[in-house]
Amino acid sequence: MLAGRCYRGTRISLEVAPLLQEPHPSSLLRISSNNSSQITCQRLLESRLISALDGCDCLPRLKHVHGHLIRAGLDQSSFLLAKLLRTLTNLDLPMDGYARQVFDQVRQPNSFLYTALIRGYALQGPTQLAFGLYTRMRLNETPPLTFTFSALFKASAGSLDARVGAQVHAQIVRLGGFDLDLYVNNTLIDMYIKCERFQDARKAFDAMPHRDVLSWTSLIVGYVRRGKMEEATELFDQMDEKDMVAWTTMITGNAQNRRPGDALQVFQQMWSMGIETDDVTLVGAISACAQLGSLRYGRWLRYIARQRGFDQNVVVGSALVDMFAKCGSLDEAREAFDMVKEKNVFTYSAMVVGLAMHGCALPAMQLFEEMVNSGTVPNGVTFIGVLTACSHAGYVDRGRQYFSTMREKYEIAPTADHYACMVDLLGRAGHVEEAFDLIQHMPADISLHGGVWGALLGACRLHGRPHIAEVAAKHLFALEPDGIGNYVLLANIYASAGMWGEVVRVRKMMREKGLKKNPGCSWVEAKDGRLHEFYASGKTHPRDSEIMTVLEGLLERLKQSGYVPILRCVLYDIGDREKQQLLKMHSEKLALAFSLIDTTHGSVIRIAKNLRTCEDCHLFFSLASKVSGREIVLRDNMRFHHFEDGLCSCGNFW
């Protein structure tokens, strides 16, 4: 059966096919009954050795069986040795020379032996040896098999260099036969995709006489990796037969290409068609949900994961941790974290970053210590997490320590992202000049990005220094010419310093570039699960008058408990009364008033906002949490604020 499927239409393969049909243990006895007793014995021995090889799960056991094989005088049996080599490479062992030894002891290796070793090098490396062996095989006139070519393509894919693979491809086209084989072509496409030679993959795909769901999926992956989701979707729609992997590719692809809405739409379609969902599918959907920030949807995905026991899976679990943190529910993130028994660096990092985002600096650092004590080695992302935590809480010295530990103890070279964290940490704490200095003395091989200068500009917003801001902004405008936030920030810094002439100049720049300030927008999920949007100084919501009544009432109560609007948050040159009016109508305040009307009493109020929240709103929310007795989670474009009983998790430092 195997031979029939794999060797169809190839001349060379027919010669070797009988070898493959030989040795299934159950058939051996049947064959042997018609032969002499000596052969029967030999066959039985072989059969035993085959079972023994199947049961090998570690190198010493394998070597033990190999010893038996030699003593039984079967050390030249190509079939058994090929089986042994395959088992050896499947054990995920490095090709430490033992496999080669076994191979070299054979006087006349056949196609299967060569292929087994080539496959070993393809899977475990070093991949170039696979090609060397293939050359020797051809020089010895040993006929190749379909397996041989798929192993070679795998080796090429593994080394991410398609050059040798492409030569082999040209050879099999000349040779004929093999280039029609489905399996060979599928591995060929996969190789070209992995080596980023999309055009060659497409050509191979188009030349195939028959394609299966794997060929289609591989090509779709090619589009996904190049960010071409329209083309990927078009191809996907053309598929007659779609399996779970094909669906998952589209879900993950959309998620990876920042199209979370489309990802979840595909997931829902798949779900409604009753197609099975596994851990990989869920990871894609959960990651999309994290980008979208929809807690309700996230809880549904967790329910599906739980039903199938995937919430204990380390990859699904890590994705859940990240998703719940990004959806504003730190408690559920922690719950998901605790469900994972064998946590790895992803699980810990997701939780550390989550805690940092929510302003829980001490727990983030504590968890980092816990992680190290558990023997999990932190990576660059984990350090982003602890550095952010330090930055949000103003722990400058701890941050400096982490920064040097990362290089000295863990030998992780800091990237521009880490420098951005350090600039943020120093700058936020008021060491603006030191932060500037750090940027100027960054190693030359690290290319600066917007994050580094952006952190410096943010520091200038907090602590003044319009002249440093100017330098930072100049770099930012070059790196991110359309980054509207940078212009707004610079204008605000000038406004705070009373440099109104400069404000006018920046506003003029924005006008000339055709950039418009994004209107402030907040949104909240109501009782019925629908999303409600609010715009600054809005009057766009159907229940506007009701909202205004609640807002006015709340404002009065807050004023009685000591609230004084922070007028300097308004960066326009206008009178105090107008400033108060503008502040009152910030979108998050409208969303909060609405939440007090239309959410279940006693539940956590969750509000998201597209821009950074202002100091006045922050104070307003702190006091509102006390007066209303409600817990409020506010997500702005940077991070989360947890307001409870008059206090915010960020300790008013953000």
Q: In the window 170-189, what residues touch DNA (CB under 7 A)? A: 182-183, 186-187
In the complex, what is the shortest distance from the CB of residue 317 to DNA, in angstroms, rounded to a whole number? 7
The site that binds DNA (CB under 7 A) totals a number of residues, namely: 75
| Of 422 and 585, CB closest to DNA | 422
| Of 109 and 458, CB closest to DNA | 458
Interface region with DNA, contact rule CB under 7 A, candidates 9-17, 23-31, 69-77, 416-424:
416-424
In the complex, what is the shortest distance from the CB of residue 558 to DNA, in angstroms, rounded to a whole number? 28
Binders in 626-645 for DNA, by CB under 7 A: 638-639
Binders in 283-312 for DNA, by CB under 7 A: 283-284, 287, 290
Q: Which tokens is 169 given?
A: 């491809």
Q: Return the residue matching tokens 């310093």.
A: 497
| Of 6 and 593, CB closest to DNA | 6
What is the helix (H) or strand (E) element at residue 533, kind and residue range? strand 531-535
Q: Which of 6, 195, 204, 491 binds DNA (CB under 7 A)?
A: 6
What is 382-442 written as a DSSP string? Answer: HHHHHHHHHHHHT-HHHHHHHHHHHHHTT-PPP-HHHHHHHHHHHHHTT-HHHHHHHHHTS
Interface region with DNA, contact rule CB under 7 A, candidates 42-50, 199-207, 238-246, 525-533:
238-246
Q: Is 415 in the site for DNA (CB under 7 A)?
A: yes
Binders in 484-543 for DNA, by CB under 7 A: 486
Q: Is 350 in the site for DNA (CB under 7 A)?
A: yes
Strands 605-609 and 632-635: parallel
| Of 333 and 554, CB closest to DNA | 333
| Of 243 and 533, CB closest to DNA | 243
Give the Cα separation of 140 and 421 in Å (integer). Answer: 60
Q: Which of 162, 164, 255, 266 binds DNA (CB under 7 A)?
A: 255
**CA distances (Å), 232 to each of 135, 167, 282, 356, in order?**
37, 28, 20, 36
| Of 318 and 649, CB closest to DNA | 318
| Of 276 and 645, CB closest to DNA | 276
Q: Is 252 in the site for DNA (CB under 7 A)?
A: yes
Give the Cα separation of 62 and 98 in Å (integer). Answer: 11
Q: Is 480 in the site for DNA (CB under 7 A)?
A: yes
Q: Return the residue matching tokens 């979108």.
A: 587
Q: Is 279 in the site for DNA (CB under 7 A)?
A: yes
Q: Is the Cβ–Cβ distance between 472 and 453 less than 8 Å?
A: yes
Q: Which of 243, 434, 533, 544 binds DNA (CB under 7 A)?
A: 243
CB burial string 529-554: b at 16+ within 10 A, e below: eeebebbbebeebeeeeebbebbeeb
Give the Cα separation of 152 and 134 in Å (integer). Answer: 8
| Of 217 and 595, CB closest to DNA | 217
Other Cβ atoms closer than 10 A to 466:
16
Binders in 52-81 for DNA, by CB under 7 A: none
What is the helix (H) or strand (E) element at residue 534, kind and residue range? strand 531-535
Binders in 205-224 for DNA, by CB under 7 A: 212-214, 217-218, 221
Q: Is the Cβ–Cβ distance between 185 and 218 less than 8 Å?
A: no
| Of 17 and 44, CB closest to DNA | 17
Q: Which of 5, 24, 64, 306 binds DNA (CB under 7 A)?
A: 5
Binders in 111-170 for DNA, by CB under 7 A: 146-147, 150
What's the burial of 13, exposed, middle or buried (CB within 10 Å: 0-12/13-18/19+)?
A: buried
**CA distances (Å), 533 to each of 227, 264, 589, 592, 610, in order?**
30, 21, 12, 11, 11
Q: Is 322 in the site for DNA (CB under 7 A)?
A: yes
Q: Is 281 in the site for DNA (CB under 7 A)?
A: yes
